[in-house]
Structure 1
Amino acid sequence: MKLEQIETPAALIDVARMQKNIARMQARMNTLGVAFRPHVKTTKSIDIVRAQLAAGARGITVSTLKEAEAFFAAGISDILYAVSIVPSKLPRALALRRQGCDLKLVVDNPTAAAAIAAFGDQHGASFEVWIEIDTDGHRSGIQPEQQTLLDVGRILHDNGVKVGGVMTHAGSSYELNTPEALAALAEQERAGCVRAAERLREAGIACPAVSVGSTPTALAARHLEGVTEVRAGVYVMFDLVMHNVGVCTLDDIALSVLTTVIGHQEDKGWAILDAGWMALSRDRGTSRQSHDFGYGQPCLLNGTLLPGYVVSGANQEHGILAAIATDANTASLANTIAQRFPIGMKLRILPNHACATGAQFPAYHAIAPDRGSVEWQRFYGW
Structure 2
Amino acid sequence: MLQIHDAPQLGFGDSTVNGMRAGPMISGLVMALVAAVCGCGSSNGSTSSSTTPANATAPAVTTYAAHAGAQIVSLSTTTSGATIYYTVDGTAPTASSAIYAAPFLIASNLTLKAYATRSGQTDSAVTTQTFSPNIQSGTLVWSDEFTNTTGSNQQPNPAIWTYDTGNSGFGNNELETYCAWGSNASPCDPTHPSAYVGTDGYLHIVSQQPSTGVYTSARMKTQGLFSVQYGRLEARIWVPEAQGLWPAFWALGNNIDHVNWPACGEQDIMERVNAATTPDWNEGSVHGTGFTGSTGLGTVFHFPAGEIAAGWHTYGMIWKKGSVAYYVDDPTNPYVTYTNPASLANLSGAVWPFDSGTSNFIILNLAIGGDWPGSPNTSTTFPQSLLVDYVRFYAP
- TM-score grouping bracket, smaller chain normalisation: under 0.3
- Give 1 or 2 for the bigger CA radius of gyration: 2
TM-score of the pair, normalised by structure 1:
0.22
TM-score of the pair, normalised by structure 2:
0.21
**Which one has the bigger strand percentage?**
2
**Which one has the bigger helix percentage?**
1
